[in-house]
Amino acid sequence: MTDKTQIFAATDDILKFLENNTNAMFMLDSKFHFIYINKNAQKFTRRKVSTLIGKNILTEFPQFKKTSFYLHYKEALKTQKEVHFEEYYPPLDIWLSVNVYPSKDGLLIYYSDITDRKKIENELKFQKLILNHVSNCIVITDKEQCITYWNKGAESLFGYTSDEIVGRKIVILLESLKNTVEEEINALNAGQIIETEWNCIRKDGRCVWTKSRVSQFFNGKGEFTGYIYIASDITEQKNAQDNLLFLAHASKTLSSSLDFRQALQSVADLAVQMLCDWCAVDLYHDHENIELIAVSHREPKKTKWARKYRKETPPDMNATTGLAKVFKERAVEYYPLITDEFLKHSVKTVRERKIISYIGLRSLIIVPVSLHGTVVAAITFVSSSYKRLYTQDDVRMAEELAARASLAIENAHLYQRAENERERLNNLLSNVPGVVWESYGRPDEATQRINFVSEYVETMLGYTVQEWVSTPNFWLTIVHPEDRERASKEAAHIFAKGKAGISRFRWLSKKGKSIWVEAQSTVIKDDTGVPIGMRGVTMDITERVQLEQKKDEFIGIASHELKTPLTSVKGYLQILERKMGTSPDAKAKNLVAKSNVYIDRLSDLISDLLDVSKIQAGKLLFNLSSFDICDVINESIEAMASHTSSHKIVVEGICNQIVIGDKNRIEQVLTNLLTNAVKYSPQSDTVFIRAEKKNDFVIIAVRDSGIGVPRAHQKNLFQRFYRVEASSTQFTGLGIGLYISAQIIKRHGGEIWVESDEGKGSTFYFSLPVPKKRSVNGRGSKR
Ligand code: ADP
């Protein structure tokens, strides 16, 4: 082959190659005439190659002059430098990548269709634009966790710009969670979507809580290229939750103890676990002294140091910030961020600077604790790092805690006051020589409970207060067996009536000693007036009872001893009276008659005293028979008439009624009432008597117009030796007549009572049961 043929062959090869090239290619001379157009270029020209070769591109395609293609070609020709550009080609709706290679003779232009790539690129551009407008944080990493995409949301959440972070590993945001992330990658690679809450660290060191959704990321061609993280900031929500949880725990702690100092120390410990690095509580005493009552730090040695430091260096109350401000101005001190710059300016001495750096002040809240408008304490929260900078929400939480702490302090004060009062009352009551008590429930029921009994009970009976309050119905179990039934009935009666009452019985001490007591009880009622309990004082009256018994014994013996000689004297007087029957010595006769009257009076008195001692000893016996009450009344009137000339006895009404009883004893009652009516109405001359039947009773009334009985004395008249003091000197008597009468009537199943107006007179009544027809047998018996 010659050189020429060799050259032709080579040119032929090149042309073949150009012809078969998948890209479009054509050549222009320096005047823009087509020299060569390959097969693929025809789709751009849409003309046959033969019709274009030698023709000028500008005349064949007049529009071409207005395109940027023309400008680039011109430039390449002019500068003789390669030009590369990408351009949209509207006639075919395609994107082209164009390479222009200039030479002195013209241009070689090389086109390739890049429409597909361009579309993907545009789509990505569009997506990025959208992602940047999404407020959520969106981060894309490659398979090795290196960040490849970082949107504006991520920038504002973590503080890093895209330039700063793209290319770095994502774990720098999740320091503490490195391992977890590694673990989770496996799950991600298995195609799972992970949704989780992560505590992340911002560029400035602050912690942010994110709620993140992570999944595999695929590019436009569907290839797995890495991971996409979509996260939102839930720090506020998380902190609010923590605050609520803390408040709930703190409230529980505060309300579960009455020792508020201890409770506040527990709250401080809790705060350190949940929200801060330091927590302290100071009390403000008398508007001048500050006492640190609680302090806590995660490291015990720092807590100890704080206590020691505060002991040696009390807070300066003249300061215009900090505790001094909170106490004096009742204001909250709140520093969301304490910068190093700020500290440099505000802290003067090296020592102070050292202390503050040891404490680590980064964010601070001090809230006042007020009680009735006065600041009594302050609670301090300190965060030592950027991890937690307090917000207004945290201030509100701290104020809420202060309100609860104030309640706790008030409760503790109230409890202390109540305790002191109780102590005082106990001291007072323990000095009362009697048992003060309070009980709930019916006194005769097993469910009755003593809920208070004064300590004197231990001295009196030997049983502890604990035994009294823990054993139901304890008081009755230790009553002397002989008195138990009566004492139980009397207490039940007082309870049922709902009125105050007195009951006497014997208690047996723990050592078995019998002690006479007198219980004065009142009834406790509920809002509707229903009795629910009793309270009262029970006094040891053993000595008094013993004295009374001795007195009764003496009266019994004395009256008995007097009765015998008196009977003899009476007999001698009767002999003397008979002997003097015919004697003209009127004076002597009169003296004997008078002696008889006094002897009778003395005899009556002694009989009464004997009756009293019989009643006391339970030995008053009755001779029962049935008789007409009308007869007894008439006989009593007759007997009275023989004794008294000052009054006449007027029967106002009478009924024949058979009763069963001791006729003499009933007559004794009537005589007593008539005698009193006469005795206590010296200014009048009439006494009235009436008998009438009412239901199953016959009621006898003796009325006078005498001095009357003051209301306050009326209920006591029927007690032994009771006399109305104001009139006792004016009228002789022993105060036992009504007592004996009352005992007689009671034993007959009746009642005795008085109605009286002071200064106007009295009416004494007594009732006797009317026997049911069959039981009237007239037979005498003793009881
Ligand atoms: P005595 O009359 O001997 O003192 P009683 O037991 O009979 O004793 O009476 C007790 C007290 O009751 C009397 O001391 C008197 O104060 C008062 N009393 C009794 N009956 C009357 C009456 N009819 N009018 C006023 N006071 C009376």
Of 190-194, 416-420, 473-477, 494-498, which range is least confident?
Answer: 190-194
Is the pLDDT at 222 greater than 50, yes or no? yes
Residues flanking ligand 1, CB < 6 Å: 672, 676-677, 680, 704, 706-709, 717, 722-724, 727, 733-739, 762
Q: What is the pLDDT of residue 549?
A: 85
CA distance 759 to 683: 11
Walk across the sheet containing 147-150 and list its strands.
147-150, 137-142, 224-233, 207-218, 194-201
Q: Which has the higher per-residue pLDDT, 670 or 385? A: 670
Place of tokens 């008094």: 544
CA distance 363 to 277: 10
Q: What is the pLDDT of residue 774?
A: 56
Q: What is the mean pLDDT of residues 329-334?
A: 93
CA-closest candidate to residue 250, choices 288, 294, 216: 294
**pLDDT confidence tier of residue 439, bands split at 50, 70 and 90:** very high
CA distance 439 to 712: 29
Is the pLDDT at 221 greater than 90, yes or no? no
How many CA atoms within 13 Å lie on the side-chain side of 496? 8
Q: Tell me the range of 286-290, 382-386, 449-453, 675-679 where mean pLDDT is highest.
A: 675-679
Terminal-residue alpha carbon distance, the chain: 175
Q: Which atom of ligand 1 is nearest to the CA of 707?
A: 25
Q: Which long-range contacts (CB under 8 A, 24 or more apart) does 42-50 make?
A: 43/92, 44/89, 44/91, 44/92, 44/111
3-state secondary structure labels for all residues of 358-411: HHCCCEEEEEEEEECCEEEEEEEEEECCCCCCCCHHHHHHHHHHHHHHHHHHHH
Q: Which atom of ligand 1 is nearest to the CA of 677?
A: 23
Of 209-223, 322-336, 489-503, 766-780, which range is least confident?
Answer: 766-780
> By the 8 A CB rule, do 377 and 283 touch?
yes
3-state secondary structure labels for all residues of 150-207: ECHHHHHHHCCCHHHHCCCEHHHHCHHHHHHHHHHHHHHHCCCCEEEEEEEECCCCCE
Buried b (16+ CB within 10 A) or exposed e, 501-519: bebebbbbeeeeeebbbbb
Looking at this protein, which amino acid is placed at residue 417? Answer: R
Biggest distance spanned by C-alpha atoms of the chain: 219
Q: What is the mean pLDDT of residues 70-98?
A: 91
Of 76-85, 206-215, 522-531, 768-777, which range is least confident?
Answer: 768-777
Angle at which helices 663-679 and 629-643 cross, to 10° = 40
Q: Which atom of ligand 1 is nearest to the CA of 672?
A: 7
**pLDDT confidence tier of residue 173, bands split at 50, 70 and 90:** confident
pLDDT in tens, 711-769: 999 989 999 889 998 888 899 888 999 999 999 999 999 999 999 999 999 999 999 99
CA distance 479 to 722: 28
- What distance in angstroms lies between residue 555's CA and the mean position of ligand 1's atoms? 20
Q: Which atom of ligand 1 is nearest to the CA of 702?
A: 23
Q: What is the pLDDT of residue 18?
A: 66
Q: Which atom of ligand 1 is nearest to the CA of 718?
A: 6
Nearest-CA residue for atom 20 of ligand 1: 676
Is the pLDDT at 10 greater than 80, yes or no? no
- What distance in angstroms lies between residue 676's CA and the mean position of ligand 1's atoms? 6
Nearest-CA residue for atom 7 of ligand 1: 737
Q: What is the pLDDT of residue 433?
A: 83
- What distance in angstroms lies between residue 647's CA and the mean position of ligand 1's atoms? 17
- What distance in angstroms lies between residue 631's CA and the mean position of ligand 1's atoms? 25
Q: Which atom of ligand 1 is nearest to the CA of 708?
A: 25
> By the 8 A CB rule, do 214 and 194 touch?
yes
**pLDDT confidence tier of residue 780, bands split at 50, 70 and 90:** very low
CA-closest candidate to residue 551, choices 604, 613, 605, 608: 613
Is the pLDDT at 88 greater than 50, yes or no? yes
Is the pLDDT at 341 greater than 90, yes or no? no
- What distance in angstroms lies between residue 704's CA and the mean position of ligand 1's atoms? 12
Quickly list DSSP for 440-501.
ES-TTSTT-EEEEE-THHHHHHS--HHHHHHSTTHHHHTB-HHHHHHHHHHHHHHHHHTS-E
Q: Tell me the range of 8-22, 342-356, 630-644, 754-768 where mean pLDDT is highest.
A: 754-768
Q: Tell me the range of 84-98, 218-232, 750-764 where mean pLDDT is highest.
A: 750-764
Q: Which atom of ligand 1 is nearest to the CA of 764?
A: 23
Q: Tell me the range of 279-283, 309-313, 348-352, 426-430 where mean pLDDT is highest.
A: 279-283
| Token representation of residue 139 | 């981060």
Q: Which atom of ligand 1 is nearest to the CA of 704?
A: 23
User: CA 730 → CA 317, 682, 737, 772, distances in Å?
Assistant: 81, 11, 17, 45
User: In the chain, pLDDT over 90 holds for what percent of residues?
Assistant: 50
Q: Which long-range contacts (CB under 8 A, 24 or more apart) does 601-608 make?
A: 602/562, 602/566, 603/563, 603/566, 603/570, 605/734, 606/559, 606/562, 606/563, 606/566, 607/559, 607/563, 608/734, 608/736, 608/737, 608/740
Quickly list DSSP for 669-706.
HHHHHHHHHHHT-TT--EEEEEEEEETTEEEEEEE--S
- What distance in angstroms lies between residue 525's CA and the mean position of ligand 1's atoms? 36
Say if strands 194-201 and 531-540 run parallel, antiparallel, or are unpaired.
Answer: unpaired
Q: What is the mean pLDDT of residues 102-107?
A: 92
CA distance 682 to 111: 155
Region at 97 (left for phi over 0; alpha for psi -120 to 50; beta for the rest): beta
**pLDDT confidence tier of residue 106, bands split at 50, 70 and 90:** very high
If residue 292 lies in a helix (H) or strand (E), which one and from where to where? strand 289-297
Average pLDDT, the chain: 88
Is the pLDDT at 178 greater than 70, yes or no? no
* Residue 119: count of CB within 10 angstroms of its CB: 12
Best of 709, 711, 752 for a ligand 1 pocket test (most atoms within 8 Å of beta carbon) = 709
CA distance 147 to 179: 18
| Token representation of residue 474 | 């304890």
Q: What is the pLDDT of residue 347?
A: 81
Nearest-CA residue for atom 21 of ligand 1: 676
Q: What is the pLDDT of residue 557?
A: 87
Residues 6+ apart with CB under 8 A from 335: 361, 363, 364, 365
Best of 723, 736, 765 for a ligand 1 pocket test (most atoms within 8 Å of beta carbon) = 723
- What distance in angstroms lies between residue 712's CA and the mean position of ligand 1's atoms? 14
Q: What is the mean pLDDT of residues 172-180?
A: 64
Q: What is the mean pLDDT of residues 56-76?
A: 91
pTM for the whole thing?
0.52
Q: What is the pLDDT of residue 5?
A: 59
- What distance in angstroms lies between residue 767's CA and the mean position of ligand 1's atoms? 19
Best of 676, 678, 711, 716 for a ligand 1 pocket test (most atoms within 8 Å of beta carbon) = 676
**pLDDT confidence tier of residue 197, bands split at 50, 70 and 90:** confident
**pLDDT confidence tier of residue 703, bands split at 50, 70 and 90:** very high
Best of 675, 716, 717 for a ligand 1 pocket test (most atoms within 8 Å of beta carbon) = 717
User: CA 318 → CA 303, 314, 350, distances in Å?
Assistant: 26, 12, 21
- What distance in angstroms lies between residue 717's CA and the mean position of ligand 1's atoms? 7
Nearest-CA residue for atom 14 of ligand 1: 723
User: In the chain, pLDDT over 70 holds for what percent of residues?
Assistant: 95
Rounded to the nearest 5 degrees, what angle is found at the Cα of 93, between the Cα atoms of 89 and 94?
Answer: 65
If residue 541 lies in a helix (H) or strand (E), which one and from where to where? none
Residues 6+ apart with CB under 8 A from 641: 649
CA-closest candidate to residue 35, choices 106, 83, 101: 106
**pLDDT confidence tier of residue 403, bands split at 50, 70 and 90:** very high
Q: Which atom of ligand 1 is nearest to the CA of 680?
A: 24
If residue 305 lies in a helix (H) or strand (E), which one and from where to where? helix 300-312
Nearest-CA residue for atom 25 of ligand 1: 708
Best of 680, 718, 728 for a ligand 1 pocket test (most atoms within 8 Å of beta carbon) = 680
**pLDDT confidence tier of residue 694, bands split at 50, 70 and 90:** very high
CA distance 760 to 539: 38
- What distance in angstroms lies between residue 670's CA and the mean position of ligand 1's atoms? 14
pLDDT in tens, 557-584: 888 888 888 888 988 988 888 888 777 7
Is the pLDDT at 685 greater than 90, yes or no? yes
- What distance in angstroms lies between residue 142's CA and the mean position of ligand 1's atoms? 119
Q: Which atom of ligand 1 is nearest to the CA of 723?
A: 14
pLDDT in tens, 292-318: 999 999 899 999 999 999 999 888 888
Is the pLDDT at 783 greater than 60, yes or no? no
